[in-house]
Amino acid sequence: MAEDYQKYLSPQTLAKLQSLELRARHVVEGYVSGMHRSPYHGFSVEFAEHREYVPGDDLRYLDWKLFGRTDKYYLKQYEDETNLISYLLLDTSESMRYRCDSSPFSKLEYGQCAAASLAWLVLNQQDAVGLATFDDKVKSLVRPGSNASQLKQIIHAVDTVTSEPKTELGPILHDLAERFRRRGIVVLISDLFDDPKSVLAGVKHLCHRRHDVVVFHLLDSAELDFPFDGMTRFKGMEQTVETTADAPSLRKAYLEEIRRFVDTIRSGCREQQVDYRLIRTDEPLDTVLTEYLASRSRQHGAGV
């Protein structure tokens, strides 16, 4: 376990993050303790509403009476008072494993480090953090928690990911939006290689659930620069197709495609007031996180 910590939590990164905080942009309902009052429904004292059961939900909260009346599975949800809840969504699909020769990390490795660092940060500020990893479906789900063992669970979940080709990201976001009933900060760490409309629809769903969504769009430097020279056979990591092409002659068209994709995601996020950060994997993680957190603090003001 000690090795896992060293693998994903660089002392340099943590040292820089130590002085920073991850704060929610909106505080919706009452402040109880800590720095935040969560606006989200939980499973606590005051009943809030029912939600349809989805596999993976804790059966303890199943409303058996309602089941008896309707033959439908519904969970009882209660209004809760808690600290900030952060949901870290880490894309572990096959495409995330891409790493060009000049990059120090694959996108997945970079995302793992980012997720671990953010978890450490949130836990360090006495807030709760959860983690969901997904590829073609949700692979693991660590419920938000703020106890001492939470970081260990998250790092374990991050470390044991397996990759499958991703089909569509949008439905997975829809699924998770339904699962995360308690409002919080949703940090999506992914290359978002899917139909932008589908992705943005999923993001929109999360926003609709009143989450504070942050998108860390991870892309390899090669995916952004397309530096290949000469004839290259490209073998799809998530698709069985492969194609051979003269890379220099394709560069312009490819860069236009990727730019259009990034612009679409970026503008879609902006429309939904979602924080969007395009991250190149050759950028130092500590720099990326500190810059982002600092800029977030500047935008929303301390204590907001």
The residues that touch other proteins, with contacts defined as CB under 8 A, are: 94-98, 107, 191, 193, 219-220, 223, 228, 230-239, 241, 243-246, 248-258, 261
Q: What is the spatial distance between Cα 154 and Cα 229, in angstroms, rounded to a whole number?
A: 40
Of the two residues 172 and 213, which places its CB atom closer to other proteins in the complex? 172
Query: What single letter denotes the amino acid at residue 122?
Result: V
For residues 72 and 235, which CB has a smaller minimum distance to other proteins in the complex?
235
Complex with other proteins: residue 124 or 264, whichever CB lies closer: 264
**How many CA atoms, within 13 angstroms, populate the side-chain half-sphere of residue 126?**
7
Which CB, 65 or 235, lies closer to other proteins?
Answer: 235
Nearer to other proteins, 82 or 133 (CB): 133
CB atoms within 10 A of CB 267: 12
What's the closest the beta carbon of residue 148 comes to other proteins, in angstroms? 37
Residue 68, CA atoms < 13 Å, CB-side half-sphere: 3
55 or 230: CB nearest other proteins: 230
The least distance separating other proteins from the CB of residue 107, rounded to whole angstroms, comes to 8
Q: Which is nearer to other proteins, 72 or 259 (CB)?
A: 259
Determine the Cα–Cα distance for residues 182 and 220; give it in Å rounded to an integer: 33
Length of the chain: 304
- Shortest distance, position 175 Cβ to other proteins, whole Å: 22
Q: Specify whether the CB–CB gap between 159 and 61 falls below 8 A.
A: no
Question: Looking at residue 226, what DSSP letter applies?
Answer: -
CA-to-CA distance for 287 and 304, rounded, in angstroms? 24
CB of 251 to other proteins, least distance (A): 5
CB of 77 to other proteins, least distance (A): 38
Say if CB 149 and CB 91 are below 8 A apart: no
Whole-angstrom distance, CA of residue 128 vs CA of residue 255: 40
Least spacing, CB of residue 222 vs other proteins, in Å:
8
Output the smallest distance, CB 286 to other proteins, in A: 25
At 304, list the tokens. 């907001």
Asked whether 203 and 173 are in contact (CB, 8 A), the reply is yes
Nearest 5°: CA angle at 268, between 99 and 106? 10
